[in-house]
Structure 1
Amino acid sequence: MNCKPVIQYILHQRLTLFLIFSFTLLAAGYFAFQLRRSTPPFAGFLAAEKGYGVTIDLTQYEAEALAATLAEIGQSGLVWLRQPVSWAEIEPAPGQFDWRPLDRVMAAVAEA
């Protein structure tokens, strides 16, 4: 019985697996090194570096309550806010857009 082809096949298979594993390990190490020494993209825009904020639906408030709420947000030390937007409310029918609620909120935020 000739075992040489079987042994060669096993050695070839093991060598292939070893090379794949080694390449994967080297690639992962290089990626980790590059990731560690790089800075996050758009680092200036990260909200976490800009203080604390709040997610609040300001479209629910009338003019006086909106102004009071924005004043309270400013006095509390919060420096940013996030307004949820429902596309179904912006475009109630295909091609018909109603930006008035958000325009009102943006104008109030600009005044605050």
Structure 2
Amino acid sequence: MRLALYYVLGCALVVAGGLLWRATLEAGAGLNRTLPPTGAPGMDVPFAGVTVELAGRPSDALATRLAELREAGFGWVRQRFDWREIEPAPGEFDWAQTDRLVDAISQAGLAPVAVLDGAPDWALAPADRAAQNGLAPPANFADFARFAAAFAARYGDRIRFYQVWDEPNVSPHWGTRHINPVAYAHLLRAAAPAIRSSDADAVILTAALAPTIDRGHLAIDEVYF
């Protein structure tokens, strides 16, 4: 019992010491962690954001849900836009669903964060096409870069933030191949200048990573990745 008490007291002292050391460092650097962000840089919207899936909602229900988010204090909505649905054949774009979503988000006074993700069948590697894995990256990153540039050209007046891919640190989001942070970096390097060629003010975000403790071939710890 006494050993357990000593253990608890020791842990408490370590935590307290760590917090004191952190506060000392922050004070020396002129930092103040007691003041949370009050808004997004350069954007007149609340700081809080939320990931949503709005595709498929009827227009009335879509408007209602977005109004509820705005009233709840959210300023950002992170929405995935599926490349495979927008460009089902090379160079042939169907923007109808995306137009509807982007228009509704903008009209609700919310700022969209566009997640560009999901390769169409024609852009997939043969193994991913055979596995019908629509979350896999394209065989040729230049194909995705061209799509991203077209997306930014169409929506650059309403979208400032673009996130390139989603959860590339876990399968099946990186297809049938092994998870590869370097390959993802190449995808990001292909997409970023393409987006900025259409929208010079674009802010490019790296992909959101899935939480995992694995460091194998099919999943990599998000910190290690």
CA-based RMSD: 2.6
**Aligned partners of 2:56 and 2:79: how far apart in 1?**
11
Residue deviations 1:57-108 (CA, integer Å, cap 9, x gap): 2122111100111011101111111110111011111111111111011111
Report the structure, 1 or 2, having the larger helix content: 1
Q: Please, what TM-score do these two structures have when normalized by structure 1?
A: 0.53
Letter in 2 for 1:58: L
The unaligned stretches of length 5 or more in structure 1 are 1-35, 37-42
Q: Does 1:83 align with 2:75?
A: no
- Runs (4+) off by over 3 Å: none
Classify 1:109/1:92 alpha carbon distance in 2 versus 1 (closer, same or farther; 3 Å).
Answer: same
**Which residue is 1:6 aligned to?**
none
Q: Please, what TM-score do these two structures have when normalized by structure 2?
A: 0.28
**Which residue is 1:99 aligned to?**
95
**Aligned partners of 2:85 and 2:97: how far apart in 1?**
9
Q: Percent identity?
A: 45
**Which residue is 2:51 aligned to?**
55
Q: Does 1:68 align with 2:64?
A: yes
SS in 1 for 2:62: helix
Letter in 2 for 1:108: A
**Aligned partners of 1:80 and 1:58: how far apart in 2?**
13
Letter in 1 for 2:91: G
Letter in 2 for 1:44: P
**Which one has more relative contact order, counting CA pairs under 8 Å at least 6 apart?**
1
SS in 1 for 2:77: strand
Q: Does 1:44 align with 2:68?
A: no
**Aligned partners of 2:64 and 2:41: how far apart in 1?**
30
Q: What's the CA shift for 1:110?
A: 2.2
**Aligned partners of 1:57 and 1:97: how far apart in 2?**
21
Report the structure, 1 or 2, having the larger strand content: 2
**Between Structure 1 and Structure 2, whose CA radius of gyration is higher?**
1
The unaligned stretches of length 5 or more in structure 2 are 1-28, 30-39, 109-225
**Aligned partners of 1:76 and 1:44: how far apart in 2?**
20
Number of aligned residues: 70
Letter in 2 for 1:103: D
